[in-house]
Amino acid sequence: MTQILDGKAIAERLRGQLATRVAALSFKPGLVVVRVGEDPASGVYVRNKDRAATQAGFASRTRHLPEETTEAQLLEEIAALNADPEVDGILVQLPLPKHIRAEKAIAAVDPAKDVDGFHPINAGKLASGLPGLVPCTPRGAMHLLAEAKAKLPGARAVVVGRSQIVGRPMAQLLLAADCTVTIAHSRTADLAGECRRADILIAAVGRPELIRGDWVREGAIVIDVGINRMPDGKLKGDVAYAEALPRAAAITPVPGGVGPMTIACLLENTLEAAIARRG
């Protein structure tokens, strides 16, 4: 029987554990999400984060700046949040409007408050095997692998996708857990062949159902990071779920897999950042 990794339930449990730890503190860990402009997908997502944070006892707020905000103004806003002692975590919602360079905004966040784990200092720490803030989606995927009781040391892990946000940090976490890691991507010569060797298959390309059932090794653990909105409004993963299901030992659904874990791990990072900063 294939284990379906219920990210919604696992995230709920994790958020409950975080709420218990937050309740024992003498302060509320502060999270600020900075949103610029009106990207429609960001609206729903920012509201979900805000609700999850508030329910778990965090002081959460969204700073919504107009579309016309200049890069310099955004950097000033970030500097003010860096200097605010009540703010433990800062997340700059992506995508940003085209006239703002995302890498400038990311690098402006105090690495100690970078709960996205996107700052080059945190990316560098992760790549060097040093402790730091780890990106939320890969962190959530590691929780799901633990839930699947994955035996990571020596396992062949294949990460499809090389983004700064998911693919690269995911590969680093698997390497730190002693997997043999392959990073595959759109230019990989034989993508199906690489996937078929995977004991652990992580799909993070953002192409609906690119990964077919017969690319999945019998008994593999499949973590689908793709959240692709189809023209009919439904969400699809990067993996052809119905095809992969009978072959996998464990698999994440979309929706209800990695997505909810990302939000729970944002709170986990914010709590860790708060404790590290405030002692």
Ligand X SMILES: Nc1nc(=O)c2c([nH]1)NC[C@@H]1CN(c3ccc(C(=O)N[C@@H](CCC(=O)O)C(=O)O)cc3)C=[N+]21
Which residues line the annotated binding site for NADP(+)?
Answer: 161-163, 227
Which residue lies nearer to Mg ion by CB, 206 or 256? Answer: 206
In the complex, minimum distance from the CB of residue 139 to Mg ion, in angstroms, rounded to a whole number: 20
In the chain, the N- to C-terminal Cα span, in Å, equals: 45
Residue 135 to residue 164: CA distance in whole angstroms:
9
- Total residues belonging to the chain: 279
Query: Cα 261 vs. chain centroid, distance in angstroms?
Result: 8
Q: Which of 88, 93, 113, 224 is catalytic?
A: 93
Burial of 160 (0-12, 13-18, 19+ CB in 10 A): buried
- Judged by beta carbon distances under 5 to 8 A according to partner kind, the member of Mg ion, ligand X, none in contact with residue 263 is ligand X
Which residue lies nearer to ligand X by CB, 106 or 174? Answer: 106
Number of residues that bind ligand X (CB under 6 A): 18
Radius of gyration of the chain measured on its C-alpha atoms: 19
Query: Which of 4, 19, 65, 94 is close enough to bind ligand X by CB under 6 A?
Result: 94
Query: Cα 234 vs. chain centroid, distance in angstroms?
Result: 21
Asked whether the beta carbons of 89 and 269 are under 8 A apart, the reply is yes
Q: Name the one range near ligand X by CB under 6 A: 89-97, 154-162, 186-194, 207-215.
A: 89-97
Residue numbers 125-184 binding ligand X by CB under 6 A: 136
Instruction: Quote the DSSP letter at residue 192.
Output: H
Binding mask 218-237 for ligand X (x = CB under 6 A): ---------x-------x--
What residue number has its CB nearest to ligand X?
A: 259
Told to judge if 55 belongs to the known catalytic residues of this protein, a careful annotator would answer: no
In the complex, minimum distance from the CB of residue 26 to ligand X, in angstroms, rounded to a whole number: 29
Q: Residues 135, 233, 212, CA angle at the centre, nearest 5°?
A: 65
In the complex, minimum distance from the CB of residue 90 to ligand X, in angstroms, rounded to a whole number: 10
267: Cβ–Cβ under 8 A, 6 or more apart, which residues?
15, 18, 31, 52, 53, 56, 58
Told to judge if 164 belongs to the known catalytic residues of this protein, a careful annotator would answer: no
Told to judge if 49 belongs to the known catalytic residues of this protein, a careful annotator would answer: yes
Active-site positions? 49, 93, 116
In the complex, the residues that contact ligand X under the rule CB under 6 A are 44-45, 48, 91-94, 116, 136, 227, 235, 254-256, 259-260, 262-263
